[in-house]
Amino acid sequence: MIPVLSKPAIYFHADTDANPESIKQVLFGIEEEGIPCELEIKPLKDEVEAAFRASASSPLLVGVTLKNDHLVIHYRNLPPDQPLFSAYRFEANTSEKKRNMGMNAARLVKGVPFK
Q: What is the pTM of this model?
A: 0.92
Are the beta carbons of 102 and 22 closer than 8 angstroms?
no
- The residues that bridge with 10 in the sheet, in sequence order, are 37
- Distance, CA of 34 to CA of 44 (rounded, Å): 27
Residue ranges in the chain modelled with pLDDT below 50: none
Q: Between the CA of residue 37 and those of 12, 81, 89, what are the distances in Å?
A: 7, 23, 23
- Distance, CA of 23 to CA of 18 (rounded, Å): 7
- Distance, CA of 55 to CA of 62 (rounded, Å): 4
DSSP 35: -
Number of Cα atoms under 13 Å in the Cβ half of residue 24: 5
- Distance, CA of 27 to CA of 33 (rounded, Å): 10
Identity (one letter) of the amino acid at 113? P
